[in-house]
Amino acid sequence: MAELIDFEERMIKTTEVLSSQYASVRAGRANPAVLDQIEVEYYGTPTPIRQIATISIPDPRSLLIQPWDSSTLKGIEKAIQKSELGINPQNDGRAIRLVFPQLTEERRKDLAKQVRKYGEEAKVALRNIRRDAMDTFKKEQKAGDLTEDDLKNLEKDVQKLTDDYIKEIDKLTAAKEKELFEI
């Protein structure tokens, strides 16, 4: 028999994924999380930058990437250029420096649009989880494992869970948008 907690765990995972997506959206200040989505070809295997280099924040507007193996320097540089970061890496032969420029108003609006898109995708995922839960509980009721009253109560609980997590996503989205428009 399916448990409500199983569906709640999937909803929690959805909000965690959204949080990590928001961390990778740069907001004008240096944040190593923007590199989380970027992978470098390392001995034939796509590898996250964090696994092949040290990433430090020498000042609020820049990141310093120091690879452990200097032969990966060019690969890291190319991966950053291909990414949607919009920052040109500066390679000095030993490390790569990423300088985050002040965001223009237009770029802030684009990033806010991207943030809202991520939020909407997360809400769709939550609604899909709700649908899966409802379908599962209806099948159990048809099979005789649940009474009509139990089904109604579970449907109410699933709807409340969905509403709570959608509110959480709205909060996360609003907070990220506010961060983007801070100067």
Checking if the pLDDT of 94 tops 60, the result is yes
Give the pLDDT confidence of 21-60 residue by residue, as tens digits.
887 776 666 778 778 778 888 888 888 888 888 888 888 7
**Residue from 47, 14, 8, 6 nearest 122 by CA:** 14
**CA 75 – CA 58 distance, rounded (Å):** 22
Q: In the predicted model, is pLDDT for residue 121 greater than 90? A: yes
Q: What is the mean pLDDT of residues 131-150?
A: 89
pLDDT of residue 10: 93
Residue 62 pLDDT: 85
Confidence of residue 164 (pLDDT cuts 50, 70, 90): very high
Would you list the domain boundaries of the chain?
A: 4-22+104-181, 30-99
Residue 86 has pLDDT above 80, yes or no: no
Give the integer Cα–Cα distance in Å for 36 and 105: 25
Asked whether 104 and 181 are in contact (CB, 8 A), the reply is: no
Identical fold between 4-22+104-181 and 30-99 = no
pLDDT averaged over every residue in the chain: 86
Query: Is the per-residue pLDDT at 173 higher than 60?
Result: yes
- Confidence (pTM): 0.70
Higher pLDDT, 20 or 125: 125
pLDDT of 132: 94
- Over residues 97-119, the mean pLDDT reads 85
Architecture category of domain 30-99 in CATH: 2-Layer Sandwich (3.30)
Return the CATH fold of 4-22+104-181. Answer: Topoisomerase I; Chain A, domain 4 (1.10.132)
